[in-house]
């Protein structure tokens, strides 16, 4: 199922501190969530695609590290994925704006 992202935050997976607001360009964030049976149980897959603005991007240096991701959807739902044990690694392209994406899976 595809969702529209209203806000996007990150925190370091190792030694996590406060959530850092990403500077999401409005209307560019998409989160797809699928649940499938792998044969060994259910697996949930998160696919995130977003564009970040340089002017509003704080703490962007953590984007190249292992992170945890917090997504607030346009309906207000708050979703967190990634952990210290199984962090998210973002794919990054461009400079301004910055495009970020990731695919992350976990057993449920």
Tokens of 106: 């976990």
pLDDT, block means (10 residues), the chain with 108 residues = 95 87 92 92 95 68 87 95 93 86 92
Number of domains in the chain: 1
Whole-number pLDDT of residue 90: 93
CB hemisphere CA count around 42 (13 angstroms): 5
Whole-number pLDDT of residue 17: 83
pTM listed for this prediction: 0.87
- For 20-49, b/e burial (b = at least 16 CB within 10 A) is bbbbbbeebbebeeeeeeeeeeeeeebebb
Range of the domain at 46: 2-107
Place of tokens 């967190």: 80
Whole-number pLDDT of residue 59: 60
């Amino acid at each position: 199922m595809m969702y529209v992202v209203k806000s996007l935050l990150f925190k370091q997976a190792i030694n996590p501190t406060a959530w850092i607001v990403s500077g999401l360009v409005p209307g560019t964030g998409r989160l797809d969530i699928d649940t499938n049976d792998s044969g060994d149980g259910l697996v949930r897959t998160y696919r995130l695609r977003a564009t970040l603005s340089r002017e509003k991007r704080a703490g962007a240096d953590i984007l190249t590290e292992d992170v945890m991701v917090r997504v607030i959807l346009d309906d207000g739902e708050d979703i967190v994925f990634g952990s210290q044990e199984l962090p998210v690694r973002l794919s990054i392209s461009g400079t301004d704006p910055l495009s970020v994406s990731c695919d992350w899976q976990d057993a449920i």
